[in-house]
Amino acid sequence: MRRAVAIASLAALCSACEVSFFATAFCGTDSDCAADHVCVERTCQRLELSNVSPPGILGDARDGEILTATHGEWAGPPVRSFAYQWQRCEPWGGSCFELSGAASSSYTLTPGEVGMRLRVAVTASSETQSLAVSSEPSAVVAAIGPSNEAVPTIAGRPMDGELLTATPGTWRGTPQLSVSYQWQRCDVAGEACAYLVGAIGPTYTPGLAEIGSTLRVTVTARNVVDAASATSEPTAEITGSPPVNRALPTITGAAVDGQVLTCDTGTWEGAPTISFSYQWQRCDSLGAGCADLAGATGTSFLLSVDDVARTLRVRVTATSSWGSADVVSAPTAQVAATAPVNLTLPTIAGLALDGETLTAASGTWSGTPVISYAYSWQRCDALGGGCSTVAAGVASYLIGSSDIGNTLRVSVIGSNAGGASAALSEPTPIVAGRPPVNLDAPVVSGSPVQGQTLMATPGTWSGTAPLAFSYQWQRCDSLGADCADLSGATGTSFLLSLDDIAQDRRQPPEARGSPLTNRFRIASWCPTGMSSTRAPL
């Protein structure tokens, strides 16, 4: 049984007392004692945790194998838990260091452990004690040779001219594993295979000689221990390839009414011989909704007024004894009549003042309707030169503080189906900044009591940034009048003194010559130091 007597604080006797506690322990059985203690001759005595048999390591010390730790045998108080930390050691078993994250009772060996030894530190914990003991190092971790777990595969179409790609399959073994390839030509049944000279990479492109045959690949994996090989299944029978387009046909010539467009065939592959035919098509302005043009089956086409604001493309058909295929070119630009030309320069309306919005007018233009306009605002020096783009896309611009001392211009780009051209406005007057204007009055916070500190915040101001603030505290009479500056009181805080009793404090922060005022009245206080009274603010 454990008993304790505590001395309580006596608030009526003193305002602050130190409280001390003492206890006397007696026991009749172990249950009367604290954890990790036993009762001996009516006195609780501590049991020390100790290791009787050290931890051990089970498993084969080879790359990829799993080692398992045994925690050993322990004496003393009951062990509540065991914690593990695996360590990598030098081949002679010393200079061990902890492996990050290896804190369970088992550990899977990795290539990084090859040539090293492992050991495990086991920490046994009772309710109040912990003790760590390390195992003996394992045998030196050995590397393993390659072994195939999934055979190589071949991807790609089994066709003349098509690229086949071999994957090496899945291999087990200590890195670094290197792999090599050897392609083989086989009969249609995948037998009677012969090596293809020089075909020793992961890819192979069948040629005319492979038509009617099958292909397979042998992959050999090697490391410092050994080498092993595995062979893929054969492909399907290699066939001749029909025409395949590798680069689309292209159209050359100006997309303008009255001009001639000319097309080429593009680039094709496939078993010879390939012949070509052509069909011109008229499309909408986006290159969709295309329809064949009657009689337009040559390599050239004369644009007419019917093609204005439309696009053209050509379909090319390639044909051989192995099949046929057709592709279409990319559409041309919209066929144009005339491009826009500026007649009078763009203009800018609005005040050249920080915070004001300027609006651009596009000016006067000629050209085929409909003309669309894009705007690019430029910041320039005081003379209108040295311009750089600051905004684009809209006809209005909000002047900011970065524009002060500069001029602004706008570039207008007029666009239609025939093209685009640009015109630049005259510069604005030099942009001026805005003076400070107070929006929310300054505020003084804090307790108006001698010894307390008042804090001032400047309030809210508008005007061109950056705004700088200065402060001057003032002492006023009890009604907040007859105020006078306090010498040296020019910070954001003020420490109240005996001189301020029954006075008001006025602090006018000033931003570029625009002051505002906020006042507090200081109440009397109890000079005994035992208490104080604050009048309402």
Res. 422: pLDDT tops 50: yes
Q: Tell me: the pLDDT tens digits for 172-205?
A: 999 999 999 999 999 999 999 999 999 999 999 9
pLDDT for 200: 97
Give Cα 388 distance to the centre of its chain: 31
Mean pLDDT lowest among 398-412, 426-440, 457-471, 513-527: 513-527
Q: Tell me: the pLDDT tens digits for 428-474?
A: 999 999 888 889 989 999 998 989 999 999 999 988 888 889 999 99
pLDDT for 504: 52
Q: Residues of the chain with pLDDT > 70: what percent?
A: 89
| Biggest CA pair distance of the chain | 121
Q: Identify the three-state secondary structure at position 167.
A: strand
Which one has a higher pLDDT value, 468 or 395?
A: 395
Pairing state between β 81-89 and 460-462: unpaired
User: Which CATH number describes the domain made up of 341-424?
Assistant: 2.60.40.2700
Mean pLDDT of 55-79: 95
Mean pLDDT of 15-31: 52
Res. 411 pLDDT band, cuts 50 70 90: very high
Which of these, 282, 283, 286, lies nearest to 294 by C-alpha position?
Answer: 282
User: Which CATH number describes the domain made up of 437-521?
Assistant: 2.60.40.2700
Mean pLDDT lowest among 33-37, 211-215, 404-408: 33-37
| Eight-class DSSP state of 500 | G
Amino acid of residue 455: M
Mean pLDDT of 322-331: 95
Mean pLDDT of 249-277: 93
Res. 227 pLDDT band, cuts 50 70 90: very high
Q: Where in the chain are all domains bearing CATH 2.60.40.2700?
A: 50-134, 147-231, 244-328, 341-424, 437-521
pLDDT for 311: 98
As a whole number of angstroms, the distance between CA 252 and CA 301 comes to 11
User: Which CATH number describes the domain made up of 50-134?
Assistant: 2.60.40.2700
As a whole number of angstroms, the distance between CA 247 and CA 6 comes to 95
Mean pLDDT estimate for the chain: 87
Res. 370 pLDDT band, cuts 50 70 90: confident
Mean pLDDT of 200-221: 96
Mean pLDDT lowest among 203-207, 311-315, 429-433, 504-508: 504-508
Assigned architecture for domain 147-231? Sandwich (2.60)
**Structure tokens of 527?**
């000079």
Q: Residues of the chain with pLDDT > 90: what percent?
A: 69
- In sequence order, what DSSP letters do the residues of 9-70 get, joined into one string? P-TTT-SS----EEEEE--SSGGGSPTTEEEETTEEEEPPPEEEE--EEES--BTT-EEEEE
Res. 502 pLDDT band, cuts 50 70 90: low
Kindly state the helix (H) or strand (E) to which residue 123 belongs, with its residue range: strand 117-125
Mean pLDDT of 125-133: 94
pLDDT for 153: 98
In sequence order, the β-bridge partners of residue 13 are none
pLDDT for 304: 82
As a whole number of angstroms, the distance between CA 175 and CA 172 comes to 9
Res. 341: pLDDT tops 50: yes
pLDDT for 39: 86
Give 319's Cβ-side CA count (13 Å radius).
Answer: 5
Res. 508: pLDDT tops 80: no
Q: For 244-328, give the CATH class.
A: mainly beta
Mean pLDDT of 340-357: 96
Determine how many CB atoms are found less than 10 A away from the CB of residue 348.
20
pLDDT for 343: 97
